[in-house]
């Protein structure tokens, strides 16, 4: 289970880096602010909170919730977007 936790954590870390890069790319086309900036903030909070919960507070179940939250958010966002189209 530790391996799966670290794989998901690494996926979230790469996803966070991708959203930061994509935000800069999107802003180069438009002058407006990024409407998905809250997603990047949520990803960073989840990355930090999952490590703190796992090793500082010794709560592995809650660390799983924090590491799965960005993935579940993206899945819900995708389903909601397809339902509204």
Cα atoms in the Cβ-side hemisphere of radius 13 Å centred on 20: 10
- Percent of the chain scoring above 90 in pLDDT: 8
Distance separating alpha carbons of residues 85 and 78, to the nearest angstrom: 11
Q: pLDDT grade, residue 2 (50/70/90)?
A: confident
Q: What's this model's pTM, rounded to 2 decimal places?
A: 0.75
């Amino acid at each position: 289970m530790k391996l799966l936790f670290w794989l998901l954590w690494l996926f979230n870390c790469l996803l966070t880096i991708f959203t930061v890069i994509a935000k800069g790319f999107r802003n180069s086309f438009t002058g407006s602010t990024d409407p998905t900036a809250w997603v990047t903030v949520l990803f960073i909070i989840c990355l930090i909170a999952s490590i703190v919960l796992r090793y500082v507070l010794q709560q592995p179940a809650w660390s799983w919730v924090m590491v799965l939250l960005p993935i579940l958010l993206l899945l819900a966002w995708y389903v909601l977007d397809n339902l509204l189209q």
